[in-house]
Amino acid sequence: MVGKMAAREAGFLQVMSLVLPITLAVMGVVGLAPALPQLLAHFKNVPDADYWVPMILTTPALCVAIFSAPAGYLGDRFGRRRLLIVSMVVYSVVGIAPLFLDSLDLILVSRVAVGLCDAMLMTLSTTLIGDFFKGEKRDHWLASQTAVASLSALV
């Protein structure tokens, strides 16, 4: 078959690299939720801190809702796999940024970046599962992705 690539099915490690990123969206909220009282105390002198500090938790979910469709478009345009990898790398940096930042504004900006990465990760990993599998196997791995997200929230 000259000039044509044979379709191949993803192996176990590839599937895990598509199923596990869905946990990052959950961890983005769960990781900071216990620190909310300390954040409120730390930023008590910031005007409207009672409003802005809880936004640290909710901003990523808002970004996922707004930017998931554009994430799908970007994945189609620039390559799903490449953008998924870039999103994971960026997420690893901006996800831990609040540990090192002492400005509420910068923390909120980092949380917007987490939300953008979450939108990319969720959309692209789900789309790639759809690309790699058909029929019952696709259903199985999409259900596994949902189960992993639910279990990660529980844990």
pLDDT digits (tens, 9 = 90+) for 88-140: 999 999 988 988 998 999 999 999 999 999 999 999 999 999 888 889 988 98
CA atoms of 44 and 63, how far apart (whole Å)? 26
55's enclosing H/E stretch is: helix 49-78
* pLDDT of 25 above 50: yes
How would residue 6 be classed by pLDDT, with cut points 50, 70 and 90?
Answer: very low
What is the spatial distance between Cα 13 and Cα 18, in angstroms, rounded to a whole number?
Answer: 9
The predicted pLDDT at position 2 comes to 42
**Nearest partner of 80 among 135, 14, 34, 27, judged by Cα:** 14
Does residue 29 surpass a pLDDT of 80?
Answer: no
7 pLDDT more than 60: no
| Residues 55-79 pLDDT 10s | 988 899 899 999 999 999 999 999 9
The pTM of the full predicted model, rounded to 2 decimals, is 0.84
pLDDT band (50, 70, 90) for residue 36: confident
Whole-number pLDDT of residue 153: 78
Nearest to 39 by CA among 90, 94, 103, 109: 103
pLDDT at 8: 63
Q: How many residues does the chain have?
A: 155
pLDDT confidence of residue 108: 94
Tokens of 127: 């789309």
Burial class from Cβ neighbours inside 10 Å (0-12, 13-18, 19+) for residue 103 reads exposed
